[in-house]
Amino acid sequence: MNGGSSSSSSSSSLDMYSLHDVILNYIETSAYSSTARILSQRKLKYGDGECDGKKEEQNGDGNIDNDGEDSMDIDRDDDDELEVGLGVSDKKAGISPVKRKGVEFDESDLEGIEKRRAILDHILNGSISKSVDLLNSHFPSVLNESLSPITNGSGSGNSFHSSRYTSLNPGPGPSNHSIPVLPRSTDPAHIKLNLQIQEFIEHFRPLNPSSLGGSSPSSSAGSLTGSTSSINLTNALSAAQGLHTEAKRLSPEIRAIFLKEINDAGALFAYSNPENSILSGFLDQKRRIRLSEMVNAAILKSQNKPTQSALENYARRTTLLYKLMNDHGIDPRPISMTDDLGLGSHGTDQKGREHLEEYFKQSNGKPFNLHGFVNSTW
């Protein structure tokens, strides 16, 4: 993100030096394009400490509305170079801070995030063909195995290709089909076939009668609904034709998994109202969400970026550490709650320590739960 060839690797390849960096990394990984652009505008406005003249008024789009609804209050300390690795005693001793450059978005980064967001939104809205068109236009290697992924100068194409695909273990998975096949895979063949299956599924969503308008006679509405259903059925049959052919190109083990999914999806033809059938999971919005996450990970992987944000990694590590302590009978409470002397951290960590103490007081001996801690009110 800090320039030319290595632009988009910024928050993915840099260490996280502040909470602000972690947030920006999460925004980039999740493709929250509007938020990313707003924060980048604030950076251009305040980043170098100049708040006068043209410097304050200009941004990547040429202007900023100081009183606009998109304005956000961002901590200035995290927006510029960051002081890293100093404790309270170091600062008192007069040790000079180590300067680190925080995560930044340039225009090319923002455009990349916006392209990714457009693709994900099409999937979430059920416009699969539009998402495929954008993938072929902006990120062709996601669906085409013969194309080399972007390396951003961080490694050779061959070394990246060898680690390109994530675990193919399908796991137990839900029995109601609310999750795509092999959701952790970034293999182009798996992404492509999952998108084709989803396009097939979308034709079974019933037309909402309320969208026809209250003034239309019921006979006209029924006629239109019947006509639309006929069109949807024809489109579904057309979309189904290539699914078995694509699946047969896969390895035997993976082929069997996809063929079962295709056969189950084909059973949607048997229901007049599939959303109320035992196969309703195919039409669940959760499936679209998981497919969008799968495609997002594949795009990031094609750009040689981590598919998980730093925030998710920290959450997973925290959960695992507390689980290990619980499994081994280690008291996870802060030392201030277990030490007779009441010793604990002070200064900037005081509020966090108090929150953790309060959580354990309210937990009544139950194992630590990260979601419960984050959702607690103080």
In Å, the largest CA–CA distance within the chain is 85
Distance between CA 149 and CA 187 in Å, rounded? 12
Residue 177 in tokens:
């089909």
Distance between CA 331 and CA 26 in Å, rounded? 31
Write the DSSP string, 232-295: HHHHHHHHHTTHHHHHTTS-HHHHHHHHHHHHHHHGGGG-SSGGGSTTGGGG-HHHHHHHHHHH
3-state SS, residue 347: helix
Asked if 159 and 151 touch (Cβ cutoff 8 Å), the reply is no
pLDDT (tens digit, 9 = 90+) per residue, 49-102?
444 444 434 443 444 344 433 434 444 444 444 444 444 445 555 655 555 666
Identify the residue whose tokens are 């959580």: 359
| pTM of the predicted protein model | 0.71
Q: Given this model, what pLDDT does residue 150 score?
A: 55
3-state SS, residue 188: helix
Which is nearest to 296 in space by CA: 143, 117, 79, 46?
A: 117
3-state SS, residue 23: helix
Distance between CA 224 and CA 218 in Å, rounded? 10
Q: Given this model, what pLDDT does residue 121 score?
A: 98
Residue 91 in tokens:
């600062």
Phi/psi of residue 283, nearest 5 degrees: -100, 5
Task: Region of 330 please: left (phi>0), alpha (psi -120 to 50) or beta.
Answer: beta
Q: How far apart, in Å, do the first and last CA atoms of the chain sit?
A: 37
Write the DSSP string, 68-137: STT-----HHHHS-EEES--HHHHHTTPPPEEEPPP---HHHHHHHHHHHHHHHHHHTT-HHHHHHHHHH
378 residues of the chain, pLDDT tens digit each: 443 333 444 555 556 668 888 999 999 999 999 999 998 876 655 554 444 444 434 443 444 344 433 434 444 444 444 444 444 445 555 655 555 666 788 899 999 999 999 999 999 999 999 999 999 999 999 999 777 665 444 443 333 333 445 555 555 455 679 999 999 999 999 999 999 999 999 988 864 443 334 444 444 334 434 555 666 677 777 777 789 889 999 999 999 999 999 999 999 989 888 989 999 999 999 999 999 999 999 999 999 999 999 999 888 998 898 888 888 888 777 666 655 444 444 554 666 677 777 777 777 777 877 777 777 765
Residue 155 in tokens:
């490694």
Asked if 344 and 334 touch (Cβ cutoff 8 Å), the reply is yes
Identify the residue whose tokens are 């100093």: 86
Phi/psi of residue 187, nearest 5 degrees: -65, 130
User: Which amino acid, 66?
Assistant: N
Cα distances (angstroms) measured from residue 336 to each of 299, 341, 342, 365: 45, 8, 5, 16
Residue 23 in tokens:
């947030």
Distance between CA 77 and CA 293 in Å, rounded? 33
Residue 324 in tokens:
């290990």
Q: Which residues of 9-26 are buried (b: 16+ CB within 10 A; e: fewer)?
A: bbbbebebbbebbbbbbb
